[in-house]
Chain A
Amino acid sequence: GENVEQHPSTLSVQEGDSAVIKCTYSDSASNYFPWYKQELGKRPQLIIDIRSNVGEKKDQRIAVTLNKTAKHFSLHITETQPEDSAVYFCAASFYNDYKLSFGAGTTVTVRA
């Protein structure tokens, strides 16, 4: 099955700086890569996703890049704010399978 590794496990950044989280996946058939944000005690919230026919996608301060050859994808958060503090999970799946395989998560702390 798919194996997703996520780094780093914790990330502390100064408010206004950028944060980058990286994930690698094992199954070259995977072609859908969502990112979720989970605040303490809350549900995982889909914040952005990317499909294999696209190399980069942006939505305001967040962006995701995908390198299918190297089998890795990354989340970039620019101009970080205290409300960006949360656990972020990457995941992977392929279209006909639907189930998501998640990374172990990155705890992001934005220092004011």
Chain B
Amino acid sequence: DTGVSQNPRHKITKRGQNVTFRCDPISEHNRLYWYRQTLGQGPEFLTYFQNEAQLEKSRLLSDRFSAERPKGSFSTLEIQRTEQGDSAMYLCASSPTGRGSYEQYFGPGTRLTVT
């Protein structure tokens, strides 16, 4: 499968624990995005990278959230001291950087449940 992959697919954690998700973009896609989707809503933008540089962060991304893309390939999203309100589907997307390339391709998501 050459699409965007995410691991784990499901994560159940207790409030206060830290969790980390991984995203592997489509090969050679330079831009990588994280979104959060709650039930009955569209995805909400969290942050994005061009290569290893994190270029924008949403105000939704509190200081408990951190994202990295150390070598410009895969990315991780960490949530510290999880809260019940963090329960959501976390989606990763990638897109190529070439001129005129704006299409974003999504991974299957990581569903987080905070108990």
Which residues on A are within 8 Å of B, measured CB to CB? Answer: 4, 6, 32, 34, 36, 42-46, 49, 51, 89, 91, 93, 95, 97-105
Contacts and interface: CB of A to CB of B under 8 A. Distances in A.
Contact of A102 (B43, B48, B105): B43
Interface of B: 4, 31, 33, 35, 40-45, 48, 56, 58, 91, 95, 102-109
B91 A34 contact: no
A42 B109 CA distance: 8
A95 B58 CA distance: 17
Given A43-B91, A44-B106, A99 B43 contact: no
Secondary structure dominating the interface of A: strand
A89 B91 CA distance: 14
Contacts, number: 57
Given A100-B43, A101-B45, A105-B40, A43 B95 contact: no
30 contacts: A32-B102, A34-B102, A34-B103, A36-B106, A43-B106, A43-B108, A44-B43, A44-B91, A45-B106, A46-B106, A89-B42, A89-B43, A91-B42, A95-B102, A98-B31, A98-B33, A98-B48, A98-B95, A98-B102, A100-B33, A100-B35, A100-B43, A102-B42, A102-B43, A102-B44, A103-B42, A104-B40, A104-B42, A105-B41, A105-B42
Contacts of B106: 36, 43-46
Contacts of A102: 42-44
B106 to A, nearest CB: 5
